[in-house]
Amino acid sequence: MVVGGIATYIQLDGSTGAVDLNHYGSNKLKTTSTGVTVTDTVTASKGRFTSTGDASVGSTAHAFQTGLTSSTNIIMDNNEIMARNNGAVSALNFNPDGGDVNFHSNTGNTSSITSAGNATFAGNVTATNILTVAGAATGNPYLQFTQGGSQKAYIQYVDSGDSFELQSDNQFVVRTGGSTVALTINSSQNATFAGSVTIPNYIIHDSDPNTFFGFDNNDQVAIKTSGNYNFFGDSTATTLYAAGGAKLKTTHVSVGTATTAGGTLIDGWKTTTQANAINDTTIATTAYVNNKIGLIPAGLQFEGTWDASTGNPPSASPENGQFWIVSVAGSTSLSGITDWKVGDWAIYVVAGSGTDGWQKSRQFICIRWVWYWAKSN
């Protein structure tokens, strides 16, 4: 059918049943056995598509499609929107040139994604598998927690130290078993553990790696300073050290004999028998005490008389318990004693309750005179 001039406006094809609508010879609408093809813009106050076909990667029965099937296209059904590219999935872009994207619910809550890429969710965010916070190649991405518009805490990866950090405005609490507090770190950096703390080896002093305590092995405990033992204990003994050297070692029943050279067992203690002449404040061994007891004089031995005016001792090498009786008074010094009277005893004592050396004993002789009166017969 030709209407107006020589242009074909409506064309009917009796063999196919197709109808073409043209505008000045340019086809605008065409009907076929599979549908209607519109070549240009369609303006209508309403558009309703009643197909209930599911929208999928390879679907053709969906209600709406924009774009060629062989290229990028967006399709819709009664509850889905999908982007495709020639039979494959493709990215679905919202406001790629800028502007916020808002999602509304009938309760008035709004979730939005700003043009800067910041997302705000009115409700909970649930990740079935992995929730990724992606930063730049050299950035410090973090997950921030705010309240009333103010930051209260965050979780952050710090690129400069390659570290993972947790921050809270006050204290940090770890709970297990639902609501049970397992660990608390307060704002003064003090940590409190609700249960036991298990470590494989040592607890090391900050900035002083040579000072630590811990466990060398199973059933062992150790304390070290400057890398040297101060204390070591296991199932058989306990040992105390000083400057890396063992000073005291205990066994199941008593103090052991592990000592340094010279027999020192802790500074000032002795584990070797000392000479009899030594008299200090150290702890003595049994042998030392027995020796001292054995030197206590059991009796005195008279050696003769002595002239105290000669300036010479009774003997150049006296022995313990020997004594002399002064026959001539004098001031000869014996261990500082100079007042010698006739009859005094000069006694030499090697060991005993007094000071070693010469001792003086002043003897008094009492003569009792008895008078008898005889009666003559």
pLDDT (tens digit, 0 to 9) for every residue of the chain, 377 residues total?
555 555 667 877 777 888 888 887 788 888 888 888 888 888 888 888 888 999 999 999 999 999 999 999 999 999 999 999 999 999 999 888 889 998 888 777 788 988 888 888 888 888 888 888 777 777 788 788 888 888 888 888 888 778 888 888 888 898 888 889 999 999 888 999 988 888 888 898 888 888 988 998 899 899 999 889 999 898 888 888 888 888 787 765 444 444 444 334 444 455 555 665 666 655 566 666 677 666 665 678 899 999 999 999 999 999 888 999 999 999 999 999 999 999 899 999 876 555 678 988 886 554 454 444 444 44
Please give the angle made by the CA atoms of 248, 250 and 251, to the nearest 5 degrees: 155
Helix, strand and coil in the chain, % to nearest 5: 0, 40, 60
HSE of 284, CA atoms in CB hemisphere, 13 A = 16
Alpha-carbon distance 220 to 238, whole Å? 10
CB-neighbour burial class of residue 306 (10 A; exposed 0-12, middle 13-18, buried 19+): buried
3-state secondary structure of 174: strand
Other Cβ atoms closer than 10 A to 231: 14
Encoded amino acid at 137, one letter: A
Res 236: pLDDT: 84
Q: Which helix (H) or strand (E) holds 81?
A: strand 81-85
Q: Could you state, in order of their start, the residue ranges of all structural domains in the chain?
A: 1-43, 44-87, 140-198, 296-361
First to last CA, the chain: 212
Q: Which two tokens stand for residue 135?
A: 């930063």
Position 207 scores a pLDDT of: 84
Return all residues near 309 (Cβ < 8 A) that are at least 6 apart.
328, 329, 330, 331, 332
